[in-house]
Structure 1
Amino acid sequence: MYSLFALANLLLSLGTGIAALPSISHVRVPDNSLEPVQIRLAYAGTTGMYISWNTFSYLSNPSVRYGFSPDALYFYASSDTSVTYPTSLTYNNHVKITGLEPNTVYYYQPIFSNSSAIYSFKTGRVAGDPTPYTTAVVVDLGLIGPEGLSTTVGKGAANPLGPNDTNTIQSLMASEDWEFLWHPGDIAYADYWLKEEIQQYIPNTTIAEGYTVYESLLNQFYDEMTPITAAKPWMVGPGNHEANCDNGGTTDKTNNITYTVSICMPGQTNFTGFINHFRMPSEESGGTGNFWYSFDHGMVHYVQFNTETDLGDGLTGPDEVNGTDGEDSGPFGRFKQAQLDWLEYDLQSVDRSKTPWVIAAGHRPWYISGANCTECQEAFEPVFAKYKVDLILSGHVHLYERNAPVNNSVVDPNELNNPTFPWYITNGAAGHYDGLDTLVYPLMNYSRKAFDTAYGWSRLTFHNCTHMTHEFVASANGTILDTATLYKDRTCSSFGW
């Protein structure tokens, strides 16, 4: 579409100026720029909730009404947090509600007008609540609307939906028995905008107006997610597509001169959009931003860790190039060992008499039949093994692979019958425009089940203190493609159950 030399000259001529906004296709732009859109929730501890939404104009005092009945929104919370960044089309508004009753349904309304929609949420379960429950996990989930994953794809893309297939967002909405959605990285894939243009899936634009395409795709995705995220907490973590954009870092040699062309917009670099859009319970757990944090929910302690930056001494990031982090992002900790020190402290502080299950999630896998993240393994595996984390979830590779419990590449001889080692599952098959990856054969010795032909998501069910089940749900029709139950030899009565 453009030569790299021409791109470089064009970028230099653009400077820092931003062109006037063209029309934004497929994005719902309300008549009133203060109307709430893209509504989303996140736990703020067991007795708190973050309520976030976007507006097309700045709010000086984002506010929420809430209460126990849609007809009695007698309580009020507000903040001064209405943030944006250069090139963003919207403002991100965040209000934290505290002092709520656990495991209780509340109704809420971001204040705009008396006729605004009223939503509801359910607060978290207290640590130690032995009630069985289910949660949902997606990784690598992108836009599934008019300009995303669909029954047709552009040249060079792969794996479109079948004509009668349900997509992952629709599948999640059809199976609402889960209590919250966990999304450890790669959210929306709006950074594929240039790739989609080159592959003739969306219309071409100028580089000067490229940011509007990026922001349009991002806003479409958040609009698509709103029916889910306005009702269920959406707990997110960082992935490589939040760190940087797929369009940057290309080089070209012309007249023996090397040009590096970057058309990454401000919202695409250094997790900018991710930092602005979400609020996670790092303050409540001693973590850092949306990058690493933890929370309790019933009989489970959940840990979100960051495989993209802050891996510790000598490990600047998994995409390091010539001594420089290839994603040009982070660090976000105040010192090199910040994340690992926090992780050690968090895991050693878990009260397993209340939360016998400990589940961790990070974006990149290190046990996978293909390219793995050796830096991640070096940084995180020792501490997860030391504190006997039960299950570690990842994505990044766009397929499904369930492994045996393993440590230091050695399979636990007990497999899923009271293993000592952590259990590893990779499920990056939620789906986006670029399709699924292909399995690398032969599969590794620790691999137990793998699929590379179906979009899907993970369903985790915690039955009691000794049994939990993982299912791979096919988005197309809701069938269960794989199921496995982990058993831990514990006496539930010793937990006061």
Structure 2
Amino acid sequence: METKRMIFVILISVLLSLSLPVRTDYVRPQPRKTLHFPREPKHPSLPHQVHISLAGENHMRISWITDDNSAPSIVEYGTLPGQYTFSSSGEATSYNYLFYSSGKIHHTVIGPLEHDTVYFYRCGGQGPEFQLKTPPGQFPVTFAVAGDLGQTGWTKSTLDHIDQCKYDVHLLPGDLSYADCMQHLWDNFGELVQPLASARPWMVTQGNHEKEKIPFFTDAFESYNARWKMPFEESESTSNLYYSFEVAGVHVIMLGSYTDYDELSDQYSWLKADLSKVDRKKTPWLVVLFHVPWYNSNHAHQGEGDGMMTAMEPLLYAAGVDLVFAGHVHAYERSKRVNKGKSDPCGTVHITIGDGGNREGLAQKYIHPTPEWSMFREASFGHGELKIVNSTHAFWSWHRNDDDEPVRSDQVWIISLIGSGCLAEKAYESSKILVSP
């Protein structure tokens, strides 16, 4: 009898395995180790960790570090190699973190700049020449999107794949360096991303790994705020943790999952005011980024975004936000248009893309059955590309790291809420929520 029971169990197991969908085209790769950076001596006045970001209309902020505190915060630039017809002076800061002292961190805004133009520039009056390309002034425009980067072999793969993409702006929804209080890792990260971040604007927001708060010793986000200054002042925000910018017909809002977001908070008031000023004739696409996802069918970090969602989703829905990008969960997931926890044709497409290459590994356990709002989900490292073709249509694709860049693992055409006619339906609700005191 026992033998028959075992045979029956084995037979049932075999039949069940045959009935389940099997993906024979993809085998998840093994983890890769943390990168190690050899210490190469540099002249103290030479720039390193160079990265750029948008800084208001037709302007760019150039950021870099020198070990010489007397080095000037000057950027010389022009449209021909070695011929710098313009120059700008900026500001500098530094910080101490326990026994670590940063170098001199320079931030210099250059412009006005022409759209879709290559500029050559030099930081601090000496050192190597860099070049950047400004975003276009009209559609089409392409964004590379990758969060939770870190400094592993998979991070390097992600960056290599993004480098093959013809993109205009990089969007990063939090968790940059994974320094986690070890400040030299911020320096390593700056060197790692410099080849890409010095050539295209990187627009970032904070994640939990940027907190680095040590009670009685250091404030939260001190390193992040000093190194990665974003255009918060240009967008009338009082905090580097949330801000907005516009590029080629797209209004992008970067929010902070780790600063106050309730209805009495400064961030909530700023968001409400910023959304009320968006001109959808000028910027028909509205995109939002923050770190902790609101729509997440992975077991990892389940429910962590609920408080922010309760407070802010009504604002985003009333304003007609087209897309939300989040990180935190180390996997990929794309939703239908959703609102209030269920599908809504006039809601927002939510994309979790916290799979850039971090050292903590992938979040491989999903909730079953799949929620009706979830369209695609997979625990793999990768990056996304958002090409906004015109005022009504955009093409989104997600690329696994172990595939060649042209191979898309998920892809979809997205019609804007303007194109769908939803914004006309939202007009009354928007006036009630966004304009009311």
Which category describes the TM-score, using the shorter chain as reference length?
0.7 to 0.9
Rounded Cα–Cα distance in structure 1 between residues aligned with 2:192 and 2:58 = 28
CA contact (8 A) 1:427 1:457 kept: yes
Alignment partner for residue 459 of structure 1, among 385, 398, 404? 385
Alignment partner for residue 142 of structure 2, among 126, 134, 137? 134
TM-score, length of structure 2 as denominator length: 0.81
Equivalent position amino acid for 2:259 in 1: T
Rounded Cα–Cα distance in structure 2 between residues aligned with 1:350 and 1:27 = 47
- Specify which structure has the bigger relative contact order, considering alpha-carbon pairs within 8 angstroms and separated by 6 or more residues: 1
TM-aligned CA deviation for residue 172 of structure 1:
1.3
CA contact (8 A) 1:368 1:444 kept: no
Alignment partner for residue 193 of structure 2, among 225, 228, 239? 225
TM-aligned CA deviation for residue 440 of structure 1:
2.2
Residue in 1 that maps onto 2:323: 391
1:215 aligns with 2:201: no
Residue in 2 that maps onto 1:182: 171
The Cα offsets for residues 339-366 of structure 1, whole Å up to 9 and x where unpaired, read as 1111111111111111111000000111
Alignment partner for residue 394 of structure 2, among 468, 474, 480? 468
- Residues 73-472 of structure 1 aligned to structure 2 (within 5 Å): 73-86=84-97, 87-113=100-126, 116-126=127-137, 129=138, 131-143=139-151, 149-150=152-153, 167-175=157-165, 177-191=166-180, 214-244=182-212, 266=218, 269-313=219-263, 336-369=264-297, 370=299, 371-372=302-303, 373-412=305-344, 419-442=345-368, 443-452=370-379, 454-472=380-398
Relative to structure 1, the CA distance from residue 31 to residue 465 in structure 2 (aligned partners, 3 Å threshold; closer, same or farther) is: closer
Relative to structure 1, the CA distance from residue 99 to residue 489 in structure 2 (aligned partners, 3 Å threshold; closer, same or farther) is: closer
TM-aligned CA deviation for residue 465 of structure 1:
1.2
Rounded Cα–Cα distance in structure 1 between residues aligned with 2:146 and 2:217 = 26
CA contact (8 A) 1:456 1:473 kept: yes
CA contact (8 A) 2:381 2:401 kept: yes
Rounded Cα–Cα distance in structure 2 between residues aligned with 1:229 and 1:472 = 20
The Cα offsets for residues 420-446 of structure 1, whole Å up to 9 and x where unpaired, read as 111111111111111111232213221
Residue in 2 that maps onto 1:483: 411
Q: CA RMSD of the aligned region, Å?
A: 2.2
Partner-residue secondary structure (3-state), 2:281 = coil
Rounded Cα–Cα distance in structure 2 between residues aligned with 1:142 and 1:265 = 25
Equivalent position amino acid for 1:167 in 2: S
TM-score, length of structure 1 as denominator length: 0.72
Instruction: Identify which range, 36-45 or 165-174, moves more after superposition.
Output: 165-174
Residue in 1 that maps onto 2:25: none
CA contact (8 A) 1:236 1:290 kept: no
- Gaps in structure 1 of 5+ consecutive residues: 1-24, 144-148, 151-160, 192-210, 249-261, 314-335, 413-418, 493-497
Partner-residue secondary structure (3-state), 2:200 = coil
Equivalent position amino acid for 1:375 in 2: G
The Cα offsets for residues 377-409 of structure 1, whole Å up to 9 and x where unpaired, read as 112111000111001110101101111111111
The Cα offsets for residues 247-301 of structure 1, whole Å up to 9 and x where unpaired, read as x8xxxxxxxxxxxxx8x984xx500110100121112211234211111111211
Relative to structure 1, the CA distance from residue 475 to residue 88 in structure 2 (aligned partners, 3 Å threshold; closer, same or farther) is: farther
Partner-residue secondary structure (3-state), 2:101 = coil
Rounded Cα–Cα distance in structure 2 between residues aligned with 1:476 and 1:464 = 31
Equivalent position amino acid for 1:182 in 2: L
Rounded Cα–Cα distance in structure 1 between residues aligned with 2:102 and 2:84 = 31
CA contact (8 A) 1:301 1:359 kept: yes
TM-aligned CA deviation for residue 59 of structure 1:
3.5
Rounded Cα–Cα distance in structure 1 between residues aligned with 2:232 and 2:116 = 21
Relative to structure 1, the CA distance from residue 239 to residue 182 in structure 2 (aligned partners, 3 Å threshold; closer, same or farther) is: same
Relative to structure 1, the CA distance from residue 301 to residue 105 in structure 2 (aligned partners, 3 Å threshold; closer, same or farther) is: same
Equivalent position amino acid for 1:381 in 2: E
Give every structure 1 segment of 4 or more consecutive aligned residues whose post-TM-superposition deviation is greater than 3 Å: 27-31, 488-492
Rounded Cα–Cα distance in structure 2 between residues aligned with 1:439 and 1:380 = 28
TM-aligned CA deviation for residue 112 of structure 1:
4.3
TM-aligned CA deviation for residue 118 of structure 1:
1.0
Rounded Cα–Cα distance in structure 2 between residues aligned with 1:383 and 1:405 = 15
1:35 aligns with 2:46: yes
TM-aligned CA deviation for residue 102 of structure 1:
3.1
Relative to structure 1, the CA distance from residue 285 to residue 89 in structure 2 (aligned partners, 3 Å threshold; closer, same or farther) is: closer
Rounded Cα–Cα distance in structure 2 between residues aligned with 1:384 and 1:457 = 25
Partner-residue secondary structure (3-state), 2:83 = coil
TM-aligned CA deviation for residue 491 of structure 1:
6.6
Rounded Cα–Cα distance in structure 1 between residues aligned with 2:400 and 2:174 = 20
CA contact (8 A) 1:171 1:475 kept: yes
TM-aligned CA deviation for residue 133 of structure 1:
2.1
CA contact (8 A) 2:343 2:373 kept: yes
Rounded Cα–Cα distance in structure 1 between residues aligned with 2:362 and 2:227 = 27
Residue in 2 that maps onto 1:330: none
Partner-residue secondary structure (3-state), 1:142 = coil
CA contact (8 A) 1:391 1:422 kept: yes
TM-aligned CA deviation for residue 28 of structure 1:
4.3
Residue in 2 that maps onto 1:8: none
CA contact (8 A) 2:262 2:308 kept: no
Partner-residue secondary structure (3-state), 1:224 = helix
Equivalent pairs counted in the alignment come to 376
